[in-house]
Amino acid sequence: MTVVFSKTPGLTENETHYCPGCTHGTIHRLVAEVLVELDLLEDTIGCGSVGCSVLSYNYLNVDMVESAHGRAPAVATGVKRVHPDKPVFTYQGDGDLASIGTAEIVHAAHRGEKITTIFVNNAIYGMTGGQMAPTTLIGQKVTTAPDGRDIAHSGMPLRMSEMLAQVPGSAYIERVSVHNPKAVRRAKRAIKKAFTYQMERKGFTMVEVLSTCPTGWGLSPIDSLKWLEENMIPYYPLKVFRSPEEDYPQ
Amino acid sequence: MAKMLMKGNEALALAAIRGGCTHYFGYPITPQNEITEYLAREMPKAGRVFLQAESEIAAINMVVGASAAGGRVMTSSSSPGIALMQEGISGLAAAELPCVIVNVQRGGPGIGGIQPSQADYYQMTRGGGNGDYSILALAPATVQESAEMIRDAFQLADKYRSPVFIASDGMLGQMMEPVEFGDTQPTLMAEKPWAVVGHGGKRKPNTVKTLALDPLVLEEMNLARQKKYAQMIATEIRYENFQVDTAEIVLCAYGSTSRIVKNAIDLLGQEKIAAGLIRPQTLWPFPDAPFQNLSKKCRRVLCVEMSCGQMIDDVRLAVNGRLPVDFFGRTGGIIPAPEEIVGQVKLLLGRK
Amino acid sequence: MCNEKILCAGFGGQGVMSLGQLLAYAGMIENKHVTWMPSYGPEMRGGTAYCSVMVSDTPVGSPIINNDATCVIAMNQPSLIKFEDTVAPGGIILINSSLTDSTVTREDITAYNIPALDLATECGNGQAANMILLGAYLTITKTVLMTSVIEAFKKVFGKKAEKLLPLNEKALKKGGDIILTIESVLPH
Ligand SMILES: Cc1ncc(C[n+]2csc(CCOP(=O)(O)OP(=O)(O)O)c2C)c(N)n1
Ligand code: SF4
Ligand SMILES: [Mg+2]
């Protein structure tokens, strides 16, 4: 018998609490597999955030520290300055990173902090029950914009990857998705690159992963994957925004 | 308006609109999201402004701006969010800017939990921010009282040019109860000649500020504020006495916990143990008087809180050594059961 | 004297929260003192949701049930297991037997197995299983009138839900009638 699929040792045995069809679980697995494949699992220190992934420390088989809402990049900075040779990452939602935590993420990038940020963008606040995030799409109905997000009132959805790519300290910024197997493979490659560049001390690295929230969006798991593809990707294009392999004006 | 069945959070929100709130700024956090979501839906319909801030720090500073500009302003949050607001709250008190701040308390410290708690008593009454300041804190115990206190809070804020806290909690915010809104129109907003609205070339520019580098000036400002606080202490204290005169033990509890204590008092009555309740409706200023006027029958005082014991400091100061003061509490989001309180009372009174 | 403490539990989506709200609202219409208290927070994801309802002739202190429920309505197996002990001695438990495969173990409470999902499906939609159980509860306890529940339905769910009223009314009545033919598992 050949083993076609087995759970990575990068994940613990705990069953996750995510809703059926939520892609947070997939993203956890990618991070875990990458850390195993790069042989970094034993050294890695993760910084959790506040959002549905608040319990990520129960699922990822690495040492982790909790962070207050939005502050993970600052916490990671503290960790990295104590352990400059160890891989350090943050795992943050879009409310956490793009709303309350914008100052921390911008300045971690600005300092060229040698960390990797896994930024899970599901265009909503999942944990608190479906309120508007800065990334919520125009017209998307959420509990704090019941008639849909309106540009005049709330502005355009914030594109964090594009924004952070402008910050000189950023070394690698890519946006990926997990809505089908091909996208998942590409997402994994991106996460692997980010950790590799971190270990090569190239600077700040971030992978933005477009993710589903069937509960918050009020859609079935299958419809959610479709909604992501049809609505999020056109506004949030999947691409490399910054890479140390390219010459980027300093 | 007819009687309605509403969540405490929704009643707070509707009462704010009816109380003339013109601007609301907030950031999502459990267990107060119904306030934010209700106002997102209803404020625009009423021609008022709802805006979701990017953080509680931003929310409280939006309150600073809107209040300075003459609006009738409110924000709401829960414990960790209120912690983030402290810099702004100290500033609001210093700049003497009226506003209402709702705290639907949850278990702490840190991120803590989301279940009901009363562990922010120190945060609200001792000032979590820097400097010499106090903030009126109203503590409702029913959905009806939540609605009434919001209305009063806006008036008190204007009257004293001061922030006013509503100290709610997860239980009171989430539970539904009948509530009636009178037909009274919102009170008119006070004149605000100090507000920054543009001088129109008719007067000297207004400045809303807290900076005072000259210690003599700052001291004078602080003393003036103390006078205002003294007036609040003289006129704004509220409490409810429940079966206190005949009690051999008096319990002290506020908000949700006071409801559980009332059940415990009933149970004690069935066992012929006379217990009473002093329920502070203002946490600051704290009602000292009822503790100073306890009858000879009263042998001891028991403070019950959903915390490890915070209000008990004020109870002890009020009792001032005349009687033993004990504490019973559950914390972390656990609501005490009436039976637990009964057990504690019997233990203290030496009954089986 | 009326002093009912009802706990309704089931999967999210089975209508346990609305069952409780309808009962509380109907109590309010009849000028009784009522409270409704939900379980809240992320535990609702896929897990058990429940609410506690008090309907009383005197003001309600605690809205929380601490093993003193006069009635538990269990709409699924996990709720039955979780809340059997919540019933006060002498109290009742209504079990949605369409979705449970065991019954109570206690002998000091009265249990009724009601195939609520099947009965609701017969009425036209399984979604009304909560109303079958509410109807049964009202026939047993007479806490409020069914007409008050129907009035409450209009108030709680508004105009939009008016077309659902006939189904819900039918299920409420069916539950109320059927319970007369169902023997309790452990009669007093
Ligand atoms: C200071 C503070 N404010 C608010 C909250 C409430 N809160 C918890 S998670 C969250 C938003 C989570 O959204 P996101 O980061 O997008 O993560 P998701 O749940 O969507 O994965 C908020 C506002 C908090 N815990 N702390
Ligand atoms: S609420 Fe949304 S983001 Fe959170 S676990 Fe459920 S589906 Fe995932
Ligand atoms: Mg999100």
Paired tokens of A221? 């798991």
- Give the residue from B100, B119, B221 showing the smallest Cα distance to B163: B100
The pLDDT of residue A4: 77
What is chain B's Cα-based Rg?
21
How far is residue C122's CA from residue C129's CA, in Å, rounded to a whole number?
10
| Distance separating the N- and C-terminal Cα atoms of chain A | 54
Tell me C125's DSSP state. Answer: -
**Topology (CATH level 3) of domain A24-242:** Rossmann fold (3.40.50)
Name the residue facing B5 among C25, C37, C60 (closest C-beta). Answer: C25
What sign has the CA pseudo-torsion B207, B213, B217, B219? positive
Residues B199 and B221 in one domain: yes
Write down which residue in B192, B220, B235 finishes a domain.
B235
The verdict on B56 and B205 lying in the same domain is yes
Q: Using CA atoms, how far apart are residues B269 and B257, in angstroms rounded to an integer?
A: 18
Neighbours of chain A (3+ CB pairs under 8 A): B, C
A155 interfaces chain B, CB cutoff of 8 Å = no
Taking a contact as any Cβ pair under 8 Å apart, which residues of chain B between 92 and 111 contact chain A?
110-111
CB–CB contact C66 B5 (8 Å): no
What is the C-alpha R_g of chain A? 17
Residue where a domain terminates, one of B235, B262, B288: B235
CB pairs under 8 A between A and C: 9
Both B83 and B165 in one domain: the answer is yes
B195 plus B306 within the same structural domain: no
Residue C188 is predicted with a pLDDT of 40
pLDDT score for C187: 44
* Number of the ligand 2 atom closest to the C-alpha atom of A19: 6
CA-to-CA distance for B311 and B282, rounded, in angstroms? 12
Restricting to B residues 102-161, those with a Cβ less than 8 Å away from any Cβ of A are: 110-111
Domain positions in chain C: 3-185
Q: What is the pLDDT of residue A246?
A: 73
Q: For chain B, how many structural domains are there in total? A: 2
Same domain membership, residue B140 and residue B60? yes
- pLDDT by residue for chain C (188 residues), tens only, comes to 889 999 999 998 899 999 999 999 999 999 999 999 999 876 445 568 999 999 999 999 999 999 999 999 999 999 999 999 999 999 999 999 999 998 898 999 999 999 999 999 999 999 999 999 999 999 999 999 999 999 999 999 988 888 999 999 999 999 999 999 998 875 44
Q: What is the pTM of this model?
A: 0.95
Tell me the torsion sign for CA atoms B261, B265, B271, B274.
positive
Low-confidence ranges of chain A (pLDDT < 50): 249-250
Residue tagged 């197997």 (tokens): A181
For atom 26 of ligand 1, the residue with the nearest CA is: A69
- Among the bound ligands, name the one nearest to the CA of residue A127: 1
B135 and B172 part of one domain? yes
Domain ranges of chain A: 24-242
* CA C27 to chain CA centroid, nearest Å: 14
Best residue for ligand 2 mutational test, from A15, A16, A22, A219 (most atoms within 8 Å of Cβ): A22
**C18 interaction partners in chain B (CB closer than 8 Å):** none
Our mutation pick for probing the ligand 1 site, out of A22, A66, A94, A96, counting the most ligand atoms within 8 A of Cβ, is: A96
Q: What pLDDT is stored for residue C166 in this prediction? A: 95
* Whether ipTM exceeds 0.90: yes
Ligand that comes closest to the CA of residue B53: 1
User: Which two structure tokens, joined as six digits, stand for B267?
Assistant: 């149970």
Q: Is A27 in the pocket of ligand 2 (CB under 6 A)?
A: no
Check CB contact under 8 Å for B339 and C66.
yes
Q: Which domain, by its residues, includes B177?
A: 4-235
Is C58 part of the contact surface with chain B (CB cutoff 8 Å)?
Answer: no
Domain identity same for B221 and B332: no
User: SS in 3 state form for chain A?
Assistant: CCCCCCCCCCECCCCCCCCCCCCHHHHHHHHHHHHHHCCCCCCCEEECCCCHHHHHHHCECCEEECCCCCCHHHHHHHHHHHCCCCCEEEEEEHHHHHHHCHHHHHHHHHCCCCCEEEEEECCCECCCCCECCCCCCECCCECCECCCECHHHHCCCCCHHHHHHCCCCEEEEEEEECCCHHHHHHHHHHHHHHHHHHHCCCCEEEEEEECCCHHHHCCCHHHHHHHHHHHHHHHCCCCEEECCCCCCCC
Cα(A95) to centroid(ligand 3), Å: 5
- Percent of chain B scoring above 70 in pLDDT: 98
Q: CB of A106 within 8 Å of any CB in chain B?
A: no
Last residue of one domain, picked from the residues B184, B204, B235: B235
List the single residue in A with minimal CA-CA distance to B55: A100
CATH of domain C3-185: 3.40.920.10
- Sequence letter at residue A89: F
Q: Kindly state the average pLDDT of the residues B262-282.
A: 98
- Look up tokens 């700052």; give the residue: B218
CATH of the domain at B119: 3.40.50.970
Tell me the two tokens of residue B300: 């001891």
- Judge if B59 and B149 occupy the same domain: yes
pLDDT at position C42: 64
Whether residue B177 is found in the same domain as residue B284: no
* Separation between Cα atoms, residue A95 and residue C154, nearest integer Å: 37
Interface check for B342 against chain C (CB to CB < 8 A): the answer is no
Residue A79 neighbours by CB distance under 10 Å = 22
Q: Can you give the pLDDT at residue A159?
A: 98
Do C34 and C28 form a contact (C-beta atoms < 8 A)? yes
Distance (Å, whole) CA B274 – CA C92: 33
B47-72 average pLDDT score: 98
